[in-house]
Chains A and B, each alone.
Chain A
Amino acid sequence: MTSYGSYRTVRLTPRRGSVARALAKDSPLRRMDWIMVLSALALSLGSSLLVWSATRGRDNLTHGDPQYFLYRHLTNTLVGVVLCAVTVGIGTRRLRTAVPFVYLGVLLLLAATLTPLGSTINGQHSWIQFGGGFSLQPAEFAKLSIVMGMAVVLSARVDAGEREFPSSRSVVQALVIAAVPMGVIMLMPDLGSVMVMGVVIMGVLLASGAARRWVFGLIGAGTIGALAIWKLGVLSKYQIDRFAAFANPSLDPAGVGYNTAQARIAIGSGGLTGMGLFHGFQTTGQFVPEQQTDFVFSVAGEELGFVGGIGLIALLGVILWRACKIARQATDLYGTILAAGVITWLAFQAFENIGMNLGIMPVAGIPLPFVSYGGSSMFAVWVAVGLLQSVRSQRPIGI
């Protein structure tokens, strides 16, 4: 503070310019977790090279412009970052009151996919096409809305100080909140997303402090449910085939097992330092299908090697590590649940995606957060980063 002389009155709250305000200790910018944001940015921007490498030779996808996917991925990242900033700008408190509207809005979009507005890609009726090649996958946003919806319901009475832990009634309400969009997504059918949501529900319940019987009961119910789905033939043939090929990759290397076998060859042949960007045999030869989306990790593995692959996993680790810190330091249960939900979501999705690339998880159409090409996923994960940042900004200065 500057003194201008004894005759001057000193303002209690200093009048500051916009720049000074933005750099002030209590400003949202100063209160952001920059390690997490920069890691996420590094992943998103760096992966544009992987997406580029995977697609520049695929003329049937790029419409003759080898940089098509590079620019699209960068644009998606930019939009994602803006959405993140908007989320931070709105702030947790205001957003908390808006959760019902967000939830209902996403539910409407989900329902729209089942109407003639939706379109089918890879056997899933999970897309809404807009003009100009722009399309949306509402299931990605549904993951967000489930986390937010459950957080609101579970934390309401605890944060009000009425109870120490969520009541069974709250738990049931939260499960209903999650079940409705999951039901719609199951109709698409997008079982990969349903699987992610199932895991997210566990994470949310775990972090909410709900009674142990709920947590373990749900794990048991999930297992029985999965078995029932398997036995009752709800799954379509290609989903069973995918799973069979995972259990035994040599079963049908030319057919179902082809994707995983080729992805594994790509990654394995990368060695320690990889074959160099744009020089992977498997990538330039387009041997790995869906390589810019579900199998984007195989590009990193082949062209950047163990060093690149571990680097990518490490960046995800940094984001998740910082997110765990945010969850622990949240000032209310709402923030804790929100952060834990996002952590479970990103962590499981990263594990499932990289795991299927490495052949230790069955194939499911799940994108790798920040890395896979795809607008909806990119937007959703950046909004999630925004949510984490706004939870962090709740805590008192000095922490």
Chain B
Amino acid sequence: MSNIPETGRTQRVTIRLVVLQILVLSLLATLGGRLWYLQIRTGSQYAAQAQGNHIREVVEPAVRGEILDASGRVLVGNETKLVVSVSRTSLLQQKDHGKAVLTRLAGVLGLQPKEVQDKVRLCDAKTPKPCWNGSPYQPIPVTQQATTQQAMQIMERREDFPGVTAQPTAVRRYTGVEGASAAQVLGYLSPVTDEEVTSTADKTGRERRLPSDQIGRAGLESVYDDDLRGTTGIDKLEVDNLGKVIGSAGTVPAQSGNNLVTSIDARVQKVVEDQLAQAMTDARKVYDKETHKNYEADSGAAVVMDVHTGRIIAMASAPTFDPNLWVGGISAKDYQALTDKGSNYPLINRAIQGLSAPGSTFKVISTTAAVQAGYSLDGHYPCPPSMTIGGREFKNFEGESFGDISLEKALEISCDTVFYYLSYDQWLKDGGIKPKNPADWFTKTAHQYGLGAKTGVDLPSEVAGRVPDRQWKQAFFDANKDAWCAQAAKGGHEYADEIARENCQDGNVMRAGDAVNFAIGQGDTLVTPLQMARIYSALANGGTLYRPTIGKAIMSPDGKLVRDIAPHEDGKIPAQGKLLDYIDQATAGVVTSGTAAWKFVGAGWPQGKIELHAKTGTAEVAGKQTTSWLTTYSGDYAVVMTISQGGTGSGGSGDSVRRIYQALYGVDDKGAIDNNKALLPKPQAELPKFNPDGTAIIKQASYDAPGDRAFLDPAPATGSRAPAVLALAALEPARATGRSRG
């Protein structure tokens, strides 16, 4: 750099050029720094934004698993329907945003253009239904009821219907196979809520809920949802700024859900549903002397249980509903009809949610309690027409009197006064109204039989019922004391005012009346039909309480066993050995010469060949007609039926329960047994066999019902009266006074 000639530059210019150079460098350094900040410091945040911009997910719904009966009959399956769907992204790329295409489509489907346009618009705060609630990238179903001809028209003129597809799609179907509905047991599906979608958005795979998902909301569909649902397939699409698809970023194929094999026998289920309906229809023809009108028979439930395993073979609840109403989304009108006050709540499964006092069916527990308390099985106890306890008279049913009788006889003829005496005597021993280390044999025994607790059946929303023990009395008193005392202070002289006054003073104390009422299954005791079926199953199987189950096994779609749902022993009832034989004998006596004899042996039942055991119950409910109970068992099955406002146990349900046994064992009305006609002479132990395509191999012939079959229609719901048997009943004290008789 030596020998620099005259450059024409002065010092000032040289300095300024250096300034300029520094300025240029600092500008470039600024850019570099900012670039580092954007890409290295905060890059991941922008990467996520770019991903969100760029990737759209289209889901391919998994085919939901089927629910099968014990022989593999499809109770809930999937039906292939021609679903016509419209792709919004494709519509938006058309010049008129798809208006012409939708109008043409409406023409083919026989709909108004407005209807179709409304269905494919996106839901937002301002848009009234119908509108599409799911992802805008998901094809939007316009109809699930397209005919083959309509589908052909659409698919053959594809150029006229860009963005429209007509594809066979699996749609849930409650088959009603063999005529069985089992609506409350099977449950139903409904689409996921926005909340469920957002709350699981950060999960992956099966945990994640997608806007197209359907979720089991009730019954088996709900409990076994995880098994049935399968894995939704996801197609990740790369889209451009206009939402146009420009590539694929990976695909996860859909995986079908597993099948659920249940212990339900569709044919038995059908018989039980029909017989429950028939019993209710019959009860409405009977005049009630107490209320001076026919029985309302507003609701009812029936359960058939395999006594050796606790598996449920049939479970019916009335009134009922059609689960197919939920397929493809229930309409607001239908939903209201199923849930409003006048509906009598058909969605409730009264076998597990219906509560009522057990009436005399409770006496097997009282008998056990008496024996546990030390009373002799061989002893004789007085059965007078009435007893005065604590200043109140407790009568026998219709004032009957039998002199001194055995406990067996007391069970068989359902003598209340024998149990009044035993319970009162025990109450006195426990210290009366000033209890001293009470043994509480009666309430303790009820707990030992599993009352006051959920059975753990594989159905949702089961209720526990209630055993009105001292603990409950205290809690109930604490909660209601103020209201009772307020009512008492008004000084009225009605029955309710007297009760309130009494309760205000010592409502927390187990009084003689409480103990006496409890012994005959009245008062504050509440049980579910399933709890009673479980107890009578235990009496039949030698004393084991099983956890009731409906699910038997989870099978893969191609018929391989995924998971066995084994029977589960929850414990033993306190009646064992001699006592159990004694109860067995007494309940057989009910069928041969006791309260149910006129409906069984008297109606031609071959007791010598197939021994049945029964206990009837007629529970009183304040302000309502009596609830009828019939709890029975054979060597293999326990059958329980109860009808709210249905009359007496044997009168209300006797014929129907007998017919259920007739169907199970193939007995005709004259008492002849034909094994070929028997639906299920022995409970089915094996799982169904499957063809390679996943369909079950079904061997048994269909049942040909004995007797009259004029009871195919389900019982219509009665008027506007609130149902007596409701889960909600647990919230109010259902107080009843003495007098019970089956």
Interfacial residues, chain A to chain B (CB-CB below 8 A): 57, 158-159, 164-165, 203, 206-209, 262, 264-272, 281-282, 284-287, 301-302, 305-306, 309-310, 313, 316-317, 320-321, 324, 327-333, 336, 340, 343-344, 347-348, 350-351, 354-355, 358-360, 396, 398-399
Contacts and interface: CB of A to CB of B under 8 A. Distances in A.
Interface size class of B (residues with CB under 8 A): 35 or more
A359 B34 CA distance: 9
Contacts of B32: 310, 313
A265 B50 contact: yes
Contacts of B17: 207, 324, 327-328, 336, 340
A369 B597 CA distance: 106
Given A57-B240, A209-B13, A282-B53, A320 B28 contact: yes
Contacts of B21: 321, 324
Contacts of A359: 34, 38
Interface string B235-248: 00011111000110
Contacts of A57: 240, 246
B712 to A, nearest CB: 61
A7 to B, nearest CB: 37
B12 A399 contact: no
A209 B16 contact: yes
A281 B54 contact: yes
Given A328-B14, A331-B8, A351-B31, A284 B240 contact: yes
B720 interface: no
Nearest to A360: B34
17 contacts: A57-B240, A57-B246, A209-B10, A264-B46, A266-B46, A268-B42, A271-B47, A281-B51, A285-B246, A287-B241, A320-B28, A328-B17, A331-B5, A336-B8, A358-B35, A396-B5, A399-B4
Contacts of B34: 355, 358-360
Contact of B238 (A267, A281, A301): A281
A317 B28 contact: yes
Interface in B239-268: 239-242, 246-247
B700 interface: no
Nearest to A287: B241
Interface in B1-57: 1, 3-10, 12-14, 16-17, 19-21, 23-25, 27-28, 30-32, 34-36, 38-40, 42-47, 49-51, 53-55
B266 to A, nearest CB: 54
B386 to A, nearest CB: 85
A336 B24 contact: no
A285 B241 contact: yes
What 7 pairs across the A-B complex have the smallest Cβ distances?
A268-B46, A281-B54, A269-B50, A269-B47, A332-B8, A285-B240, A324-B21
Contacts of B46: 264-269
Interface of B: 1, 3-10, 12-14, 16-17, 19-21, 23-25, 27-28, 30-32, 34-36, 38-40, 42-47, 49-51, 53-55, 238-242, 246-247
B14 A358 contact: no
B24 A207 contact: no
A215 to B, nearest CB: 9
Contacts of A329: 7
A301 B39 contact: yes
Most chain A Cβ neighbours within 10 Å, of B16, B30, B54, B238: B16
A313 B31 contact: yes
Nearest to B247: A284
Contacts of B20: 203, 206-207, 324, 327, 340, 343-344
A340 B13 CA distance: 11
B49 A351 contact: no
A347 B241 contact: no
A313 B30 CA distance: 11
Contact of B24 (A284, A287, A347, A396): A347
